[in-house]
Amino acid sequence: MGNVCGTSTAALAVVGRRARELRALLPHTGSIHVWGHDLWSGGWCACSGCRRLSPSDQALRVGNAVAAGAGVDVFHLAYHDTIAPPTTVRPDPGVVAEFAPRERCYGHALDDATCAVNLRYRAALEAHLALFEGRVDVFEYYGDAILFGGCAVPLLEVIARDLDFYAHAGVRGVSCLVFGTYSLSAYGANVEAFARGALAPGAARAAAATRCAHRYGAAAPAMASYLAALERVMAGVVQYGDVLLPAREHRPAARSAYATAVRELADLGALLTAAPHLAAERALLDYTVAVVATLAAWLGADPERDAVLADAIRRIAALDPSVVGTWGAYNLEMTHGFFANARRESRAPAAD
Ligand SMILES: [Zn+2]
Ligand SMILES: [Zn+2]
């Protein structure tokens, strides 16, 4: 399974013709997204014509073919192995870059000069802004229950600073992936910060107080302190890609970061106070502790704590559907199955 050949004139003509037919069927469509297969590598063509082209170059050639005569914005996805800007292909004026930095570091803002990971993503964003002459939207992951393994991850400071940076960098717009009801519970403060900050970046920082006042009533100040403490601890965990499978090159660093987080998370339960939704907040914290401890064990080449993790997943799934939605009730367990398999196939993590 893979993507269309990026240099076959005949193949690109078919793609362009089909796009125009689709456009005729849906005359009110405002834009077309052309996204390649969600693969890290191997999804693009290796024929003699394409071999010299990067995945980004190949993807943009497809986007350009769709844009010819489309009459609407066509989105080129910068994501996974297309996050680097195209180098040998220029975008059609109708093509817009959708910059989706999923493997960036969420422990630091994108423009934090102390973060080597994000420096690379910032450079990639700025190169897209130049190449696409400002036609760049950002797709963010502040509510991504898969990326964060369903763990509680407040990102209020990062979101506020990111959105300010994106606005000043000249990004046209920012969207944010959410997983329905589950994201509103586990990442509710992030969603509030994003919604406020997308309109006015300066308003993002007030989201914690507003969210806590609405959700926790008189316990709002105490819960705001809890969220701030949780944000500081989890900032150490969300720097390495998927929480449930840190990127291979980051595993030595992740090993000590996860171990530190396990110790610090142990103190946070005492900050949870009598408040509405307390049972859900506690289950989410316990689940987060179980996940981070399980991964810390795996990164340290210790046996995984399968029983502890399975129990924590069951407790999340048993919460009221209005709190966890279908994602928490069903998809969370499936997600764990996927990542557990991936970890089994990726042995000796600490020695990498
Ligand atoms: Zn090819
Ligand atoms: Zn960082």
248 Cα: distance to centroid of ligand 2 (angstroms)? 16
Residue 64 CA to ligand 1 center (angstroms) comes to 15
Mean residue pLDDT of the chain comes to 94
Rounded mean pLDDT, 160-182 = 97
Distance 217 CA to ligand 2 centre (A): 34
Checking if the pLDDT of 22 tops 50, the result is yes
- Give me the mean pLDDT over the 234-239 stretch: 98
Q: What is the DSSP string of 308-338?
A: HHHHHHHHHHTS-HHHHHHIIIIIHHHHHHH
pLDDT at site 287: 97
Q: How far is the CA of 258 from the centre of ligand 2 (A)?
A: 14
Ligand 2 centre from 77 Cα, in Å? Answer: 23
Residue 258: per-residue pLDDT = 98
Non-local (6+) Cβ contacts of 209 within 8 A are 220, 224
Ligand 1 geometric centre to CA of 49 (Å): 5
86, 95, 322, 352 from 255: Cα distances, Å: 34, 41, 35, 11
Is the per-residue pLDDT at 316 higher than 70?
Answer: yes
In the prediction, which pLDDT does 48 show? 96
In this prediction, what percent of the chain has a pLDDT beyond 70?
A: 98
| 271-298 average pLDDT score | 94
Cα 14 to averaged position of ligand 1 atoms, centre (Å): 14
**Ligand with minimal distance to 104 CA:** 2
How far apart are the CA of 41 and the centre of ligand 1, in A?
15
Residue 330 pLDDT exceeds 60: yes
Beta partners for residue 138, in sequence order: 99, 174
Query: Per-residue confidence at 70, pLDDT binned at 50, 70, 90?
Result: confident
Expressed in angstroms and rounded, the spacing between residue 116 Cα and the centre of ligand 2 is: 7
248-270 pLDDT, tens digit each: 999 999 999 999 999 999 999 99
- Cα of 228 to ligand 2 centre, how many Å? 18
DSSP annotation of 269 reads G
- What predicted TM-score, i.e. pTM, was given to this entire model? 0.94
Proximal ligand: closest to the CA of 115: 2
CB-based burial, 251-268: b 16+ in 10 Å, e otherwise:
beebbebbbebbeebeeb
> Ligand 2 centre and the CA of 327: distance in Å?
28
Taking only the tens place, the pLDDT of each residue in 333-349 is 999 999 999 999 987 55
- Written as six digits, the tokens of 288 are 């987060």
Q: Is the pLDDT of residue 305 over 80?
A: no
- Is residue 159 within 8 Å of 254, Cβ to Cβ? no
Residue 48 CA to ligand 1 centre (angstroms) = 7
Closest ligand to Cα 114: 2
Closest ligand (CA of 58):
1
Which ligand approaches the C-alpha of residue 6 most closely? 1
39-43, 147-151, 157-161, 196-200: range with lowest mean pLDDT: 39-43
